[in-house]
Amino acid sequence: MDKEHRLQLLKDEYVMLQGFYEDIDRRCLMIKNWDVTVGLAALGAGALYSGLFFLGAFLAAIMFWYLETYWRGLGYFFARRIKQIEAGLSDKGWEKMAPLQTYHTWEQEYNKVGSQKFRYLFREITLLPHVAIAITGLVMFLLWLYGITIPL
Protein backbone atom coordinates (compact mmCIF):
# COMPACT_ATOMS: atom_id res chain seq x y z
CA MET A 1 0.00 0.00 0.00
CA ASP A 2 1.45 3.36 -0.96
CA LYS A 3 1.91 6.13 1.61
CA GLU A 4 -0.77 8.44 0.24
CA HIS A 5 -3.40 5.70 0.27
CA ARG A 6 -2.41 4.66 3.82
CA LEU A 7 -2.59 8.28 4.99
CA GLN A 8 -6.02 8.75 3.42
CA LEU A 9 -7.36 5.58 5.06
CA LEU A 10 -6.03 6.68 8.46
CA LYS A 11 -7.65 10.09 8.01
CA ASP A 12 -10.95 8.44 7.06
CA GLU A 13 -10.75 6.13 10.07
CA TYR A 14 -9.97 9.09 12.31
CA VAL A 15 -12.97 11.06 11.04
CA MET A 16 -15.23 8.02 11.48
CA LEU A 17 -14.00 7.45 15.04
CA GLN A 18 -14.47 11.11 15.93
CA GLY A 19 -18.05 10.81 14.70
CA PHE A 20 -18.62 7.72 16.85
CA TYR A 21 -17.11 9.47 19.86
CA GLU A 22 -19.31 12.53 19.37
CA ASP A 23 -22.36 10.26 18.98
CA ILE A 24 -21.58 8.73 22.36
CA ASP A 25 -21.46 12.21 23.90
CA ARG A 26 -24.84 12.98 22.31
CA ARG A 27 -26.29 9.75 23.69
CA CYS A 28 -24.99 10.56 27.15
CA LEU A 29 -26.57 13.99 27.00
CA MET A 30 -29.84 12.41 25.87
CA ILE A 31 -29.64 9.95 28.79
CA LYS A 32 -29.18 12.88 31.19
CA ASN A 33 -32.17 14.64 29.62
CA TRP A 34 -34.33 11.55 30.05
CA ASP A 35 -33.20 11.19 33.65
CA VAL A 36 -34.12 14.76 34.46
CA THR A 37 -37.48 14.40 32.72
CA VAL A 38 -38.42 11.08 34.30
CA GLY A 39 -36.91 11.96 37.67
CA LEU A 40 -38.66 15.29 38.04
CA ALA A 41 -41.94 13.83 36.82
CA ALA A 42 -41.67 11.00 39.37
CA LEU A 43 -40.73 13.39 42.18
CA GLY A 44 -43.69 15.61 41.28
CA ALA A 45 -46.03 12.62 41.12
CA GLY A 46 -44.70 11.47 44.48
CA ALA A 47 -45.50 14.84 46.03
CA LEU A 48 -49.00 14.87 44.54
CA TYR A 49 -50.14 11.25 44.60
CA SER A 50 -48.09 8.54 46.29
CA GLY A 51 -44.67 8.36 47.84
CA LEU A 52 -44.01 5.21 45.82
CA PHE A 53 -43.22 7.51 42.91
CA PHE A 54 -40.23 8.75 44.92
CA LEU A 55 -38.88 5.20 44.83
CA GLY A 56 -39.47 5.19 41.08
CA ALA A 57 -37.40 8.37 40.74
CA PHE A 58 -34.60 6.74 42.72
CA LEU A 59 -34.62 3.55 40.65
CA ALA A 60 -34.86 5.40 37.34
CA ALA A 61 -31.91 7.64 38.26
CA ILE A 62 -29.78 4.60 39.14
CA MET A 63 -30.71 2.96 35.85
CA PHE A 64 -29.89 6.08 33.81
CA TRP A 65 -26.61 6.54 35.72
CA TYR A 66 -25.55 2.99 34.88
CA LEU A 67 -26.62 3.42 31.26
CA GLU A 68 -24.50 6.55 30.88
CA THR A 69 -21.45 4.88 32.43
CA TYR A 70 -21.91 1.97 30.01
CA TRP A 71 -21.82 4.31 27.00
CA ARG A 72 -18.86 6.28 28.35
CA GLY A 73 -17.05 2.99 28.85
CA LEU A 74 -17.59 2.19 25.18
CA GLY A 75 -16.25 5.61 24.25
CA TYR A 76 -13.01 4.78 26.05
CA PHE A 77 -12.15 2.20 23.39
CA PHE A 78 -12.81 4.58 20.51
CA ALA A 79 -10.61 7.14 22.26
CA ARG A 80 -7.74 4.63 22.41
CA ARG A 81 -7.69 4.24 18.63
CA ILE A 82 -8.12 7.98 18.12
CA LYS A 83 -5.04 8.58 20.29
CA GLN A 84 -3.05 5.96 18.35
CA ILE A 85 -3.85 7.64 15.05
CA GLU A 86 -3.09 11.11 16.42
CA ALA A 87 0.26 9.93 17.79
CA GLY A 88 1.11 8.31 14.45
CA LEU A 89 0.22 11.45 12.52
CA SER A 90 2.20 13.71 14.83
CA ASP A 91 5.51 11.82 14.57
CA LYS A 92 5.35 10.26 11.09
CA GLY A 93 4.63 6.87 12.67
CA TRP A 94 1.61 6.66 10.39
CA GLU A 95 3.87 5.39 7.61
CA LYS A 96 4.06 2.05 9.47
CA MET A 97 0.54 2.03 10.95
CA ALA A 98 -2.06 -0.34 9.61
CA PRO A 99 -5.24 1.60 8.78
CA LEU A 100 -8.77 0.44 9.57
CA GLN A 101 -7.86 -1.34 12.80
CA THR A 102 -10.64 -0.06 15.05
CA TYR A 103 -11.96 -3.47 16.05
CA HIS A 104 -8.48 -4.92 16.51
CA THR A 105 -7.47 -2.04 18.77
CA TRP A 106 -10.77 -2.30 20.65
CA GLU A 107 -10.33 -6.03 21.24
CA GLN A 108 -6.69 -5.71 22.33
CA GLU A 109 -7.51 -2.93 24.78
CA TYR A 110 -10.58 -4.75 26.12
CA ASN A 111 -8.54 -7.91 26.71
CA LYS A 112 -5.91 -5.81 28.49
CA VAL A 113 -8.11 -3.61 30.72
CA GLY A 114 -11.62 -5.10 30.56
CA SER A 115 -14.86 -3.16 30.64
CA GLN A 116 -14.41 0.50 31.44
CA LYS A 117 -17.95 1.38 32.55
CA PHE A 118 -17.04 1.42 36.24
CA ARG A 119 -14.12 3.72 35.48
CA TYR A 120 -16.70 6.43 34.74
CA LEU A 121 -19.12 5.63 37.56
CA PHE A 122 -17.84 8.26 39.99
CA ARG A 123 -16.57 10.90 37.62
CA GLU A 124 -18.25 14.27 37.88
CA ILE A 125 -19.40 14.15 34.27
CA THR A 126 -21.50 11.05 34.96
CA LEU A 127 -22.51 11.75 38.56
CA LEU A 128 -24.76 14.68 37.80
CA PRO A 129 -27.75 14.82 37.60
CA HIS A 130 -28.23 11.12 38.30
CA VAL A 131 -26.97 11.07 41.87
CA ALA A 132 -28.85 14.24 42.81
CA ILE A 133 -32.13 12.77 41.59
CA ALA A 134 -31.40 9.38 43.18
CA ILE A 135 -30.60 10.89 46.59
CA THR A 136 -33.62 13.18 46.45
CA GLY A 137 -35.89 10.30 45.48
CA LEU A 138 -34.51 8.02 48.19
CA VAL A 139 -34.71 10.67 50.92
CA MET A 140 -38.25 11.64 49.92
CA PHE A 141 -39.29 7.96 49.80
CA LEU A 142 -37.87 7.30 53.28
CA LEU A 143 -39.58 10.40 54.65
CA TRP A 144 -42.86 9.27 53.07
CA LEU A 145 -42.35 5.73 54.38
CA TYR A 146 -41.98 7.03 57.95
CA GLY A 147 -44.94 9.37 57.62
CA ILE A 148 -42.97 12.60 57.53
CA THR A 149 -44.41 15.08 55.08
CA ILE A 150 -42.82 18.22 53.78
CA PRO A 151 -45.35 20.98 53.14
CA LEU A 152 -45.24 22.28 49.60
- Long-range contacts of residues 86-94, Cβ cutoff 8 Å, at least 24 apart: 86/14, 88/10, 89/10, 89/14, 94/6, 94/7, 94/10
The model carries a pTM of 0.88
**Whole-angstrom Cα distance, residue 95 to residue 112?**
26
> pLDDT tens digits, residue range 54-106?
999 999 999 999 999 999 999 999 999 999 999 999 988 888 899 999 999 99
> pLDDT tens digits, residue range 107-132?
999 999 999 988 999 999 999 999 99
DSSP classification of residue 35: H
- How buried is residue 39: exposed, middle or buried, by Cβ count under 10 Å (0-12/13-18/19+)? buried
- The separation between the first and the last C-alpha atoms of the chain, rounded to the nearest angstrom, is 71
pLDDT at 149: 81
